Structure 1
């Protein structure tokens, strides 16, 4: 069992919540690159021989990601106890990114070092010259390099070391390395909980990390279940021990997953295969425990693929309709872009289940931060930092099933290739977080308060008090709140704050259409392309389904 011990004082603001048994699964969106770099700098500061000297100090971390290389320059001071105090304003933190990533130099590793020159110039512009010699600089490469052969990894790192040795900053060869996926997840977990004030407190009150990078995905959290040694990591902080589950899914970052999906669509094997031979069927044969909904999603996707193959065409469900695939590859004439969020989500799920396989993963517990591409995708769709997966599902469905020409006009400032990927990214995130990991689509924080409600069957109108100012909510409960329930009530009132009722008579509102009125045509459309795949015998028990699958169903 791997053990990691941080030689740091616990955060003075660390706190343990009073209710240690409740477990709220809340997905927050956070930009992860600075978090990871922040942690690395904490380690850098604590191990530095000059760490106890007072005054302004600097540290530099170069993050070698799969799609680009970023430099983070931190300014900080040490307090009376030798702990770093960071300034994350414009003066205290500077970052810069160059593309492509280091892994793109696999065919010519000697050129990789040259890609750092511009970043180092940026670093020198942020650090006063008199501090260059005592400013440590470290290069941490992630999944992009982990995917390469060891000899290629080392060749790229050596090229970078040659440049870093003469950079003017303090550098050692061992400070340029490829970190493991588990370490990448642990680093982010430590910093997130340090920033949230939970590091040093009750392990059950810590926050887990789910990262979605370009080439890999990481899941890291405290688990109360027994964890196999290969996924178990013990971390000591002060007098507290944390037993972490940490696992990295290499090749299942968002960008690499999209490439895998496209290759499967465009491959020669796919042009002439029988549906029963596709690897996705084996997921059902072997019973991977993905749940009825996940199985139906997979079956729905495979059924659609089987139908299109028998017609001599291939459907790309993750590319908005109207986008021309002509000339993209030798099979593009047989491939039709027909954006369909549900089928794209199902295709993403089959990829995830193939990668996850029988890998052990305990039940998710507590709160989680969802980082990196979760952040970018949510930001694109204009979702808040506490958006629910149901919000992303609706936004993704509208995007995927919109005509490409309209999308280009609406998002005219976006690069066309980047814009094209948001259909897949939204579907992949929902498949990853909900269908695979089991995170709820909607907020379930208030189910406990519903139990305490005095009038559970009251109408909205009865809960609204028009005599309070401009009107306000008058919620009644059967007892006083415990200390740990007060925050939950505050969150509920915050959600309700932006809602006011009208005095129109209550009526049924049809959410499946645009104007709230039920229409038979819209109902048929929803059945044909449901948001959540429902059981449909006509999509499973058809003549073209192999006998084994028909029997299983």
Structure 2
């Protein structure tokens, strides 16, 4: 009998015909009898019979086929290996995303989500920035560590246009103290100086939203007061301030290389104030070639002047064709325009420094009249810059090379009858108009300055800080001439019998009665503007403390560059709390 074949196991023609490069299929040999398990459900009922095979090697004793130990290990290893690859790949991707989020500061205003709707926009001005690479809203913190006190400015900007727009400002200053509340007043107590900024930083914490804190730069700029303290003490104070800001607060501190916590250069102080004023006036930052305003800032330890002079292009006009080279020349690029500015910071000619210089001049005159005795130091000393009928106890620091060197505590007394011209003469005396001028023309103390009358005769002149405080509080309008300032000075120096004009000005009489040096302050300011800077007597000046609700001074001008890339800070890594 011929053997029978199961037609389902017979190799068909397609088993032998190759397709392309595919290997030829091999069929199971039909020469071996097929193994039957006796279980019709078994998947191996057509497998070839092996006489040496154990009956339950494949079935596990119950007829169910399962892989060998080696096959099980291989299958398990392949499954675990595949899972491990998946886990590793997922872990790497997760790590990349996490690192990107961390090193971008976790900022909520990255370029990928920089477009908002009117409902969720952080500003009411627009819903997306003019430049999508910039955040829609930015904050910046600037601390003005002045000679008489520290002030914080917290700015909010939007980037709806090509130039950042100042949208809001929070301002606070340290409480006034008789000995001063600036960093320099702490002298050897560096930690105390650093802690004095804590009340100001609380304003920053409450103003800047949490999502923006890690990407809001903070900088501290000290001015003339700390500059006069000396290198060693000032360095310790600045280091203590930086350490406290970096360890106690979430804001990134601008790097040392970019002047994050520093004594600001005098020329920068003036130029930043010029930027602030002209930015708020809309004279810079736009497409128009608008004439700019000059600024004269009177601080406690120094005074600054910055303006953009115009030179006539005529070699026969009695003027140079361009500004002379020197430290006074400041080239500035801002808002797509180039500016060639004149600037100078007169250290030692701030109002507090001028007071000391005037009082020292009085002591010097008295000493020359009484060279063999110092008994007069314990008696009231006549001083024409003190309001008639008033006295004040004053600590005067004399030059180290003077016979009265050191600090002298004396009582200054005003004259019986007012002599305003004598006080003005004292004020003009400390300007040293006769000092040698190596580069003509000069303003005072031998310092070169282009003539305001010839190179800046029509544009606006803004005077602020102490200029504003001493005139606004006595009822002066937003603009007045130097002649009107001299009239005010004469009335104040005349004593209380001439003060009836101030009865209608709220708080003016109280101020005059509490401050015997009003006459000195006004005389110095008049002398500085008219004699020092040589402004014509009928030249109009403008006083301001704010423009469009924003504080004047150098702080805003110094904060605007911090909004740009590579300005010395990076977003801080957010701490993850558990």
TM over 0.5: yes
Residue 271 in structure 1 maps to residue 359 in structure 2? no
Kindly indicate whether the alpha-carbon contact (under 8 Å) linking 1:314 and 1:336 is maintained by their aligned counterparts in 2: no
Deviation at 1:147, TM superposition (A): 1.6
Residue 231 in structure 1 maps to residue 328 in structure 2? yes
CA gap 1:125/1:415 in 2 versus in 1, 3 angstroms = farther
Deviation at 1:403, TM superposition (A): 3.3
As a proportion of its length, which structure holds more helix? 1
Residue 363 in structure 1 maps to residue 447 in structure 2? no
CA gap 1:76/1:332 in 2 versus in 1, 3 angstroms = closer
Alignment of 1:482-501 (within 5 A): none
CA gap 1:415/1:371 in 2 versus in 1, 3 angstroms = closer
Kindly indicate whether the alpha-carbon contact (under 8 Å) linking 1:227 and 1:362 is maintained by their aligned counterparts in 2: no
* Separation in 1, partners of 2:289, 2:382: 47
CA gap 1:77/1:338 in 2 versus in 1, 3 angstroms = same
Alignment of 1:211-250 (within 5 A): 211-223=297-309, 224=311, 225-237=322-334, 240-250=337-347
CA gap 1:238/1:416 in 2 versus in 1, 3 angstroms = closer
* Separation in 1, partners of 2:426, 2:132: 50
My pick for the range that moved more, 168-177 or 94-103, is 168-177
Of 412, 419, 429 in structure 2, the residue corresponding to residue 340 of structure 1 is 419
Alignment of 1:90-109 (within 5 A): 92-98=168-174, 99=176, 100-109=181-190
Larger radius of gyration: 2
* Separation in 2, partners of 1:84, 1:208: 22
Alignment of 1:420-439 (within 5 A): 420-439=516-535
Equivalence for 2:493? 400
**3-state SS of the aligned residue for 2:446?**
coil
Residue 190 in structure 1 maps to residue 285 in structure 2? no
Kindly indicate whether the alpha-carbon contact (under 8 Å) linking 2:432 and 2:445 is maintained by their aligned counterparts in 1: yes
Equivalence for 2:353? 256
Kindly indicate whether the alpha-carbon contact (under 8 Å) linking 2:492 and 2:499 is maintained by their aligned counterparts in 1: no
Of 146, 149, 160 in structure 2, the residue corresponding to residue 79 of structure 1 is 160
CA gap 1:333/1:350 in 2 versus in 1, 3 angstroms = closer
Kindly indicate whether the alpha-carbon contact (under 8 Å) linking 2:138 and 2:156 is maintained by their aligned counterparts in 1: yes
Equivalence for 1:167? 249
Alignment of 1:429-508 (within 5 A): 429-443=525-539
Q: Report the TM-score, using the length of structure 2 for normalisation.
A: 0.55
Kindly indicate whether the alpha-carbon contact (under 8 Å) linking 2:482 and 2:540 is maintained by their aligned counterparts in 1: no
Equivalence for 2:265? 180
Deviation at 1:347, TM superposition (A): 1.0
* Separation in 1, partners of 2:208, 2:295: 32
* Separation in 2, partners of 1:159, 1:96: 21
Aligned length: 355
Q: Deviations over 1:350-372 (max 9, x none)?
A: 11226832221111132222121
CA gap 1:75/1:414 in 2 versus in 1, 3 angstroms = farther
My pick for the range that moved more, 109-118 or 169-178, is 169-178
Deviation at 1:193, TM superposition (A): 2.4
Deviation at 1:313, TM superposition (A): 8.6
Kindly indicate whether the alpha-carbon contact (under 8 Å) linking 2:391 and 2:412 is maintained by their aligned counterparts in 1: no
**3-state SS of the aligned residue for 2:430?**
helix
Equivalence for 2:212? 131
* Separation in 1, partners of 2:471, 2:532: 19
Kindly indicate whether the alpha-carbon contact (under 8 Å) linking 1:161 and 1:173 is maintained by their aligned counterparts in 2: no
Deviation at 1:130, TM superposition (A): 2.8
* Separation in 2, partners of 1:74, 1:401: 43
Deviation at 1:427, TM superposition (A): 1.1
Deviation at 1:152, TM superposition (A): 1.9
* Separation in 1, partners of 2:135, 2:336: 27
Kindly indicate whether the alpha-carbon contact (under 8 Å) linking 1:210 and 1:220 is maintained by their aligned counterparts in 2: yes
Aligned alpha-carbon RMSD (Å) = 3.4
Equivalence for 1:151? 232
Deviation at 1:119, TM superposition (A): 0.5
Kindly indicate whether the alpha-carbon contact (under 8 Å) linking 2:142 and 2:219 is maintained by their aligned counterparts in 1: yes
Q: Deviations over 1:319-358 (max 9, x none)?
A: 1111134798765388757543222122111112268322
* Separation in 2, partners of 1:130, 1:438: 51
Kindly indicate whether the alpha-carbon contact (under 8 Å) linking 2:491 and 2:498 is maintained by their aligned counterparts in 1: no
Equivalence for 1:375? 468
Unaligned stretches of 5+ residues in structure 2:
1-130, 312-321, 396-407, 436-443, 542-578
Of 349, 357, 378 in structure 1, the residue corresponding to residue 428 of structure 2 is 349
Deviation at 1:55, TM superposition (A): 3.6
Equivalence for 2:61? none
Kindly indicate whether the alpha-carbon contact (under 8 Å) linking 1:315 and 1:338 is maintained by their aligned counterparts in 2: no
CA gap 1:443/1:358 in 2 versus in 1, 3 angstroms = closer
* Separation in 2, partners of 1:371, 1:153: 27
* Separation in 1, partners of 2:389, 2:339: 51
Q: Report the TM-score, using the length of structure 1 for normalisation.
A: 0.58
Deviation at 1:217, TM superposition (A): 0.6
CA gap 1:338/1:258 in 2 versus in 1, 3 angstroms = farther
Deviation at 1:254, TM superposition (A): 0.9
* Separation in 2, partners of 1:193, 1:326: 41
Of 478, 481, 485 in structure 2, the residue corresponding to residue 385 of structure 1 is 478
Kindly indicate whether the alpha-carbon contact (under 8 Å) linking 1:204 and 1:222 is maintained by their aligned counterparts in 2: no
Q: Deviations over 1:518-542 (max 9, x none)?
A: xxxxxxxxxxxxxxxxxxxxxxxxx
Kindly indicate whether the alpha-carbon contact (under 8 Å) linking 1:157 and 1:176 is maintained by their aligned counterparts in 2: yes
Equivalence for 1:207? 293
Deviation at 1:177, TM superposition (A): 1.2
Equivalence for 1:538? none
My pick for the range that moved more, 140-149 or 416-425, is 416-425
**3-state SS of the aligned residue for 2:428?**
helix
Residue 114 in structure 1 maps to residue 211 in structure 2? no
Of 138, 141, 153 in structure 2, the residue corresponding to residue 60 of structure 1 is 141
Deviation at 1:440, TM superposition (A): 2.2
CA gap 1:167/1:340 in 2 versus in 1, 3 angstroms = farther
Kindly indicate whether the alpha-carbon contact (under 8 Å) linking 1:147 and 1:250 is maintained by their aligned counterparts in 2: no
* Separation in 2, partners of 1:239, 1:75: 22
Unaligned stretches of 5+ residues in structure 1:
1-49, 278-308, 446-553
Residue 315 in structure 1 maps to residue 382 in structure 2? yes
CA gap 1:363/1:246 in 2 versus in 1, 3 angstroms = same
* Separation in 2, partners of 1:171, 1:180: 19
